Structure formats: C-alpha cells, structure tokens
C-alpha cells in the first residue's frame, strides 16, 4: 500500500512538469470562419501547415464557425480554409 501511495505522489508531481514542458514555447492559431455575408461556417476544414517543417494539422470548425489549433511550434504557417460550395482560401500567419 505504501508503494502505491508513493507512486501516486511521484506521478502527481511529474505530470504538471511534463505538461508545462510540452506547452512551453508553443502557440495557437484560432478564429471564426465566415462567408462574405458574415454567416458562420460550421464544419469547414481548416488546415495549418508549418512552412519551414511542412508539419500539418487539420481541424474542423464547430457549430459557431470557431476553430483552434494549439500546441504549435514557433514559425510561419500557411492556413487553408475549405468548405463545400466555396472557393479554397489560403493565408499565411
């Protein structure tokens, strides 16, 4: 029983340090996707690609058109927005 308690204490001390190390030095890209009329676009695909490393991630907007891509390493990113019936839009961030 003592070993289990010690292990739990050690793990509870290490976990916050691991998360702090993981999140340190990272950023995020977020926003709301809207059409030209200002209507939000739920379900739109948002692709984020690091220009320097070509690492890419894709998310979809939620019901209110919001998206967030977090834990991104510093760098220049190309952000691509796609949705059925609309032209693809690319921006650099």
What are the tens digits of pLDDT across the range 14-28?
445 444 545 568 999
Q: Does 13 map to a domain?
A: no
Q: Does 43 map to a domain?
A: yes
Give the domain range for residue 55. Answer: 26-92
For the stretch 43-79, pLDDT in tens is 999 999 999 999 999 999 999 999 999 999 999 999 9
3 has a pLDDT exceeding 80: no
Please tell me whether residue 72 adopts helix, strand or coil conformation.
strand
9 has a pLDDT exceeding 90: no
Q: Does 2 map to a domain?
A: no
93 has a pLDDT exceeding 90: no
Q: Does 7 map to a domain?
A: no
Q: pTM above 0.95?
A: no
* CB atoms near residue 38 (< 10 Å): 6
Please tell me whether residue 41 adopts helix, strand or coil conformation.
coil
What is the pLDDT at residue 21?
A: 47
* Cβ proximity of 65 and 86 under 8 Å: no
Q: Does 1 map to a domain?
A: no
- Give me the number of domains the chain comprises: 1
Q: Does 19 map to a domain?
A: no
Q: Does 58 map to a domain?
A: yes
Q: Does 40 map to a domain?
A: yes
84 has a pLDDT exceeding 70: yes
Greatest pairwise CA separation for the chain in angstroms: 64
We report the CATH number of the domain holding residue 34 as 2.60.40.1120
């Amino acid at each position: 029983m003592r070993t289990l308690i010690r292990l739990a204490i050690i793990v509870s001390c290490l976990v916050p340090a691991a998360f702090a190390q993981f999140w340190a030095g990272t950023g995020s890209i977020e926003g709301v996707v809207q059409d030209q009329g200002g209507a939000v676009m739920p379900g739109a695909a948002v692709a984020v690609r690091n220009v320097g490393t070509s690492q890419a991630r894709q998310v979809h907007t939620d019901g209110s058109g919001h998206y967030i891509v977090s834990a991104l390493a510093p760098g220049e990113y190309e952000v691509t927005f796609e949705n059925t019936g609309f032209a693809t839009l690319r921006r650099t961030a």
